[in-house]
């Protein structure tokens, strides 16, 4: 089943005399239960693409279908409901409301959805158990380390049991141990709950947790790599593709598996 | 959950918003005080429905309007501060109306808190307020009226409407926010100035307009609009023109000139060698980002200084005029003496004779620099009094200039002199020649604008001369004025009002016709009494004067206006300073990232803190200084016009304005540092 369909999307920024084409007629699809990585050189348009697919931004031209709905045609009023029911997010840095404690951050949206209290408590128990947040529930965001924050963010995004999870460089500010934990967890829920995940990353090691990597360059689809064998093989394939696209970083070549 | 979130948000931001809430509370307090006092029947009774009390109502409504403005701006900065949170809420699936509700509740808590506090403060300070007002109005009465249910609910309702109104603005703002902008804030880059010819033109236009405004202040005639207050008037038009020029000039300066200048500075090699200058130059974009509020700050400070200036002018000048016009309870010359005295005695009033003053009159000519300007003709008539009598009166009329004259010296008294743009030292070089050739020339050695017994009783210019000279002056047209103190009769009674009114009627006034020959000896003075006032070119004076209800009324109007204007200016300063403080604090979240990056780059913390202090100071105080400069310049000009402007009082009040802003700056800088340090990444926190 189609989860995401991007149809001939273009996005330009700026006025006429200094127009930036961030996305240039890009099209692709993601099926339900896929774990897709998006890679490409800096400035390729990854964040822009993610923003458009996740209803944060609007494309200049083109359409995006999410869970069968054409989100590019939805009015803001319906978008709120749609987001609540279908989408989860993990950003690189700002993920939590600083005024609320960890548990309040986790249950805030749910309690506004009028989901029964027992159900909310059940999910809270489940995710805090899984993401190892039990001791942190009563703390406030400014009392957490960045890795802890990121785990809370993942839990927050998953509490609504979204159909699709978007993540923009979620491991960008994590040390390798925390990053690995988070990624392993994402891989688990992808398998267990059939949550579709789309993740933007620079890092080949992070990307190697995905099933498929979409490479974009200069705002257009460049190529894709599908995982067939072991993670190590996939990792090497990714690195080769990065070298071909010309956007790899030295650190990516270090074998960290 | 919405409520809880709102409460938590409110609590989290309370520390940084305390002063803003205090400012709001003060607005509420004064509004309540105004209404209670306005409605108070006792005060209305003792001030006899004085129209000046309407000023209180005006103040009430301007405070409500000002309330809208500051809450609007404060909330604007709150939204700015909340941007990432709002973005997160949007993408978590909260609807815009839920978000708007959270925000509205969050701000409403603060506002209600301020409202409650303000009303309580209002109840507490009401008596003080009324007493201050009465004191300034010259009424000696105690009031004990402090509770008024009507005023309480009217003030509450008024402010609630203000809160809801601003809430509606905010909601529409929240509905129009774009999600991308919230999550990827790049406002500073977004408005980076394009170097188009238009922007460059505006950058030059800014200072040019300001200079043009300054020149216009000194060259165009505008100040008369204060007297006429008519909109069709030329002076009113000029005033408007000057204001618009200045406002546009200031606006362009903050919007274009300073950012362009700083961008240019940043590009020079020279700035790179001077760390301070580079720091300075990097604030250009922030100036541009906040140009609106910076412009408003400048304007508000200017307005405050000008208002305070006018309040202090009114205070000392108005009261002084009052004292000069009718310094003594009752003065009459022989003609009306018995008539007026009998009337008063018949009413039960008692009189105490204070002093008498023989007055003679004669044409004179001035000789010396600018003498033509002083006389405005070739010669002029002058009333003459003797030094001895003058000093006798000085015992009872303290505002008279005490002088001891030698032989051949004279004191010149004139109310018009100050409008003639002649300097005092030029006047002092003049000599007076009398029409009577036997009399010696006298040297002017002193000048005063205060007339013995009050200016109403004289035609225009008066000369105080040594007694031996006074005796030699012929008695033609001379008269004797006698001054009394009035007792056992109310100063504002209708009875005195009638006597006072009658003293202005043409029958009771003295008129003088003066011919202006080239030669002094040919000048002729004719005095008319009891004729209809139809003489053109005539000098007029009263035969008697009563310090009556007109003066009392004037004093009260003045008092009320001074009170209202002064209060408005100080409140405006306080409230707006608190909004400025919020503006700076709303930036912390954003600078925090820069701050973190820079610390990671190994830049020392104390340097960064110094930089942020410096930036705060620049953004906070530069418009204040600019505004004070503007205000003082305007008042300086008014001072040229009224050369006795009490600038000392104004300087003091200006210093108060500056100190208020300075305190707010300290508060802001302290909170800024606190938040920046609080947001240090956890790795750096001691555990
Ligand atoms: N708001 C904007 N205004 C103007 N140009 C923009 C804006 N946002 C992005 N761009 C431009 O669009 C292009 C794509 O940006 P995008 O942020 O999507 O890149 P990216 O692939 O996420 O890069 P990175 O890996 O560095 O995060 C870039 O050239 C960028 O300069
Ligand atoms: Mg990006």
CB contact at 8 A, A241 and A212: no
Q: Provide Rg for chain B, Cα atoms.
A: 32
Contact with chain A for residue B468, Cβ under 8 A: no
Which residues 63-122 of chain B have a CB within 8 Å of chain A? Answer: 84-85, 87-96, 98
In this prediction, residue A256 carries a pLDDT of 44
**Protein residues whose CB sits closer than 6 Å to any atom of ligand 1:** A 13-14, 20, 22, 40, 42-48
Query: In sequence order, what are the beta bridge partners of B514?
Result: B525
Q: Which ligand is nearest to the CA of A222?
A: 1
- The least confident of A42-56, A193-207, B45-59, B474-488 is B45-59
Q: What does the alpha-carbon distance between residue B288 and residue B200 come to, in Å, rounded to a whole number?
A: 14
pLDDT of residue B537: 60
Query: How far apart are alpha carbons A69 and A78 in whole angstroms?
Result: 11
CB contact under 8 A, A97 and B5: yes
Nearest-by-Cβ selection for A144 from B8, B679, B682: B682
User: What's residue A251's pLDDT?
Assistant: 45
Rounded (to 5) percent helix, strand, coil in chain A: 40, 25, 35
Q: At what angle do helices A146-159 and A176-192 cross, to 10 degrees?
A: 10
* Whether the Cβ atoms of residue A210 and residue A37 lie closer than 8 Å to each other: yes
Collect the ranges in chain B with pLDDT lower than 70.
46-52, 140-145, 185-195, 223-233, 271-272, 275-276, 278, 317-318, 320, 491-492, 506, 530-537, 549-550, 589-590, 592-593, 639-646, 678-687
Tell how far the Cα of A44 is from the centroid of ligand 2, in angstroms.
8
Q: HSE of B110 in the Cβ direction (CA atoms, 13 Å)?
A: 28
Domain positions in chain B are: 1-185, 332-547
Contact (Cβ atoms closer than 8 angstroms) between residue B290 and residue B188: no
Paired sense of beta strands A61-66 and A69-70, if any:
antiparallel
- The residues with which B348 forms a beta bridge, in sequence order, are none
pLDDT the model gives residue B202 = 87
Domains within chain A, CATH numbers bracketed: 34-57+75-245 (3.40.50.300)
Would you say A203 and A171 are in contact if contact means Cβ atoms under 8 Å apart? yes
pTM, 2 dp: 0.75
Confidence of residue A252 (pLDDT cuts 50, 70, 90): very low
d(CA B506, CA B504) in angstroms, rounded, equals 6
pLDDT of residue B156: 94
Of A77, A84, A142, the CB nearest to B93: A84
Q: How far is CA B321 from CA B291, B306, B309, B449, in A?
A: 43, 21, 17, 10
Taking residues A202-210, report their average pLDDT.
Answer: 89
Residue nearest to atom 31 of ligand 1 (CA): A43
B4 part of contact set with chain A, CB < 8 Å: yes
Model confidence pLDDT, tens digit, residues A116-165: 888 889 889 988 887 788 888 888 888 888 788 888 888 888 888 888 99
- Euclidean distance between CA atoms B469 and B364, whole angstroms: 14
Half-sphere exposure of B494 (CA within 13 A, CB side): 1
- Nearest Cα neighbor of B290 from B79, B572, B23, B77 is B77
CB contact under 8 A, A80 and B679: no
- Sort out which chain B residues have CB atoms less than 8 A from A78's CB and list them: none
Nearest in space to B235 (alpha carbons), one of B245, B248, B221 = B221
CA-to-CA distance for B79 and B352, rounded, in angstroms?
Answer: 71
CB contact under 8 A, B91 and A95: no
CA of A50 to the centre of ligand 2 (A): 9
Looking at residues A105-116, what average pLDDT do you find?
81
> What percent of chain B is helix, strand and coil (3-state, nearest 5)?
65, 10, 20
What is residue B263's predicted lDDT score, i.e. its pLDDT?
Answer: 81
Interchain contact, A98 vs B85, CB within 8 Å: yes
The atom number, within ligand 1, closest to the CA of B186 reads: 1
Res B492: pLDDT: 66
Contacts of A91 in chain B (CB under 8 A): 183
| Measured CA angle at B461 (ends B459, B463), to 5 deg | 125
> Which atom of ligand 1 has the smallest separation from the CA of A46?
21
Query: What pLDDT is attached to residue B687?
Result: 31
Residue B180 Cα to ligand 1 midpoint, Å, equals: 12
Contacts across the A-B interface (CB distance below 8 Å)? 86
Cβ–Cβ below 8 Å for B94 and A109: yes
**Residue at token pair 């009627």:** B505
Provide the pLDDT for residue B128. Answer: 83
Contacts of A113 in chain B (CB under 8 A): 93
Please tell me the predicted confidence (pLDDT) of residue B678.
Answer: 64
Which residues partner with A89 through β-bridges? A166
pLDDT of residue A116: 85
Strand partners, B480: B358
Residue B479, helix vs strand vs coil: strand
Cβ within 8 Å, pair B93-A89: no
Kindly determine whether residue B93 and residue A81, on different chains, have CB atoms separated by under 8 Å: yes
Per residue in B435-466, pLDDT tens?
A: 888 899 999 999 998 899 888 889 889 999 99
Mutation choice for A interface testing from B8, B84, B85, B91 by most A CBs within 10 A: B91
SS3 B598: helix
Q: Of B375, B461, B371, which is closest to residue B415 (Cα–Cα)? A: B461
């Amino acid at each position: 089943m189609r989860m995401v369909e991007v149809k001939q999307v273009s996005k330009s920024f700026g006025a006429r005399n200094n127009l930036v084409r961030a996305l240039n007629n890009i099209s692709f699809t993601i099926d339900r239960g896929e774990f897709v990585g998006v890679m490409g050189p800096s400035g390729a348009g990854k964040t822009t693409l993610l923003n458009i697919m996740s209803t944060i931004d609007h494309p200049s031209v083109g359409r995006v279908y999410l869970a069968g709905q054409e989100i590019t045609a939805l009015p803001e009023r319906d978008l709120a409901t749609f987001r609540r029911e279908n989408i989860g997010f993990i950003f690189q840095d700002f993920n939590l409301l600083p005024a609320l404690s960890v548990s309040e951050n986790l249950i805030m949206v749910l309690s506004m959805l009028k989901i029964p209290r027992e159900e909310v408590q059940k999910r809270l128990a489940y995710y805090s158990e899984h993401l190892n947040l039990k001791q942190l529930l009563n703390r406030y965001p400014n009392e957490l380390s960045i890795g802890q924050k990121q785990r809370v963010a993942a839990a927050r995004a998953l509490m609504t049991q979204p159909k699709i999870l978007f993540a923009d460089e979620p491991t960008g500010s994590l040390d390798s141990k925390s990053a690995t934990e988070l990624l392993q967890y994402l891989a688990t829920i992808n398998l267990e709950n059939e949550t579709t995940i789309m993740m933007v990353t620079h890092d080949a090691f992070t990307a190697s947790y995905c099933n498929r990597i979409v490479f974009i360059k200069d705002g257009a689809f460049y190529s894709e790599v599908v995982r067939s064998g072991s993670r190590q093989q996939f990792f090497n394939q990714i690195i080769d593709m990065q070298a071909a696209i010309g956007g790899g970083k030295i650190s990516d070549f270090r074998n960290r598996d | 959950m919405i409520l809880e979130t709102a409460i938590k948000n409110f609590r989290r931001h309370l520390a940084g918003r305390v002063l803003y809430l205090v400012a709001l509370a003060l607005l509420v307090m004064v509004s309540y005080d105004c209404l209670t006092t306005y409605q108070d029947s006792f005060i209305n009774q003792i001030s006899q429905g004085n129209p000046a009390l309407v000023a209180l109502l005006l103040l009430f409504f301007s405070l409500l309007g000002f309330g809208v403005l500051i809450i609007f701006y404060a909330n604007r900065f709150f939204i700015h501060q909340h941007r990432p949170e709002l973005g997160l809420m949007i993408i978590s699936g909260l609807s815009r109306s839920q978000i708007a509700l959270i925000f509205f509740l969050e701000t409403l808590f603060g506002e209600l808190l301020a409202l409650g506090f303000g009303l309580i403060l209002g109840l507490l300070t009401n008596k003080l307020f009324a007493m201050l007002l009465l004191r300034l109005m010259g009424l000696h009465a105690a009031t004990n009226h402090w509770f008024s249910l009507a005023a309480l609910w009217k003030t509450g309702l008024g402010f609630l409407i203000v809160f809801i109104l601003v809430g509606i603005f905010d909601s529409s703002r929240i509905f129009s926010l774009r999600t991308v902008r919230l999550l990827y804030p790049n406002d500073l880059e977004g408005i980076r100035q394009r170097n188009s010819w238009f922007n460059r033109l505006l950058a030059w236009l800014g200072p040019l307009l300001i200079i043009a405004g300054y020149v216009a202040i000194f060259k165009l005639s505008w100040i008369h609009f204060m007297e006429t207050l008519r909109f069709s008037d030329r002076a009113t038009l000029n005033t408007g023109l000057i204001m618009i020029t200045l406002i546009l000039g200031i606006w362009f300066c903050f919007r274009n000139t300073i950012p362009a200048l700083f961008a240019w500075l940043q590009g020079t090699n020279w700035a790179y060698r001077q760390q301070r200058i580079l720091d300075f130059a990097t604030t250009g974009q922030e100036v541009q980002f906040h140009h609106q509020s910076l412009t408003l700050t400048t304007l508000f400070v200017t307005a405050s200084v000008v208002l305070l200036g006018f309040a202090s002018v009114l205070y000392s000048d108005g009261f002084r005029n009052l004292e000069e016009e009718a310094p003594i309870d009752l003065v009459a010359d022989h003609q009306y003496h018995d008539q007026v005295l009998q009337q008063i005695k018949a009413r039960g009033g008692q009189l105490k004779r204070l002093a008498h003053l023989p007055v003679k009159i004669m044409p004179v000519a001035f000789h010396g620099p600018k003498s033509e300007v002083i006389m405005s003709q070739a010669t002029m008539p002058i009333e003459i009094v003797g030094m001895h009598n003058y000093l006798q009166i000085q015992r009872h009329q303290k505002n008279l200039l005490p002088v001891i004259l030698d032989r051949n010296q004279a004191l010149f008294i004139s109310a018009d002199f100050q409008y003639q743009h002649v300097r005092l030292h030029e006047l002092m070089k003049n000599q007076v020649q009398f029409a009577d050739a036997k009399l010696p020339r006298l040297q002017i050695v002193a000048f005063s604008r205060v007339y013995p017994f009050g200016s109403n009783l004289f035609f225009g210019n008066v000369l105080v001369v040594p007694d031996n000279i006074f005796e030699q002056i012929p008695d033609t047209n001379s008269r004797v004025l006698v001054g009394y103190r009035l007792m056992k009769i109310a100063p504002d009674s209708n009875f005195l009002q009638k006597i006072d009114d009658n003293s202005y009627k043409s029958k009771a006034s003295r008129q003088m016709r003066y011919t202006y020959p080239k030669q002094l000896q040919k000048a002729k003075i004719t005095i008319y009494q009891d004729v209809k006032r139809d003489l053109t070119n005539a000098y007029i004076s009263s035969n008697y004067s009563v310090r009556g209800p007109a003066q009392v009324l004037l004093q009260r109007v003045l008092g009320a206006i001074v009170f209202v204007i002064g209060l408005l200016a100080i409140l405006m300063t306080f409230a707006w300073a608190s909004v400025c403080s919020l503006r700076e604090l709303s930036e912390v979240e954003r600078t925090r990232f820069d701050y973190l990056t820079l610390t990671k780059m190994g830049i020392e913390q104390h340097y960064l803190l110094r930089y942020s202090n410096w930036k705060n100071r620049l953004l906070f105080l530069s418009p204040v200084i600019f505004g004070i400069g503007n205000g003082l310049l305007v008042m300086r000009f008014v001072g040229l016009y009224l050369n006795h402007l009490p600038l000392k009082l104004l300087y003091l009040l200006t210093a108060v304005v500056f100190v208020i802003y300075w305190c707010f700056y300290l508060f802001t800088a302290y909170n800024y540092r606190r938040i920046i340090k609080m947001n240090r990444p956890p790795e750096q926190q001691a555990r």
